[in-house]
Structure 1
Amino acid sequence: MAKKVIIMGAAGRDFHNFQLYFKDNPSYQVVAFTAAQIPAIHGRVFPPELAGALYPEGIPVYPEEELETLIRSHTVDLVVFSYSDISHVEVMHR
């Protein structure tokens, strides 16, 4: 059974990591992206044309503030932190 994943990111590194590792990997099911740096992100979807055959509906993007709720509601196995512009101190406090 595929592990359920949420990718936290900054609308660049997160999508890049998805494309390189998760897109065609049947061992994982990416259930959501979260973003903190994009205004009015709620309701957007990473397009199915880019998400690939495993994601015919695309992948929803949620505000990062909803992370804890998303983890519970999707029974997530793994959260991937995909920022490239965050300091060590900030990471350790998230």
Structure 2
Amino acid sequence: MTFSLILMFMGGLFGICMSRKHLLLTLFYLEYLILSLYFSMFLFLLWYCCEIYFVLIFLVFSVCEGALGLGVLVSMIRGHGNDLLSSLSILVW
């Protein structure tokens, strides 16, 4: 089980490294990393018989992070026309 969690996390990190120019794919891989962390935290707290309310708080924060990322993506697409990071210039901001 631990090996599969480590494999999920490393796969998400590898995906972020490979899709560094496309913002939507980067957000998808970031949500995948959050999901793997959520699953590992849930199993850790379940294994040690601790309070599982922290998992609910973590889930709320991860949903807020996803909504904020999508909001920034929509704002960037309206301003620039695409979500490729290579077409952005730092001098424009």
TM-score by length of 2: 0.31
Query: Per chain length, whose mean CA-contact separation is higher, i.e. which structure has more relative contact order (CA < 8 Å, sep 6+)?
Result: 1
Which one has a larger percent strand, Structure 1 or Structure 2? 1
TM-score by length of 1: 0.30
Which one has a larger percent helix, Structure 1 or Structure 2? 2
Quick check: which has more Rg, 1 or 2?
A: 2
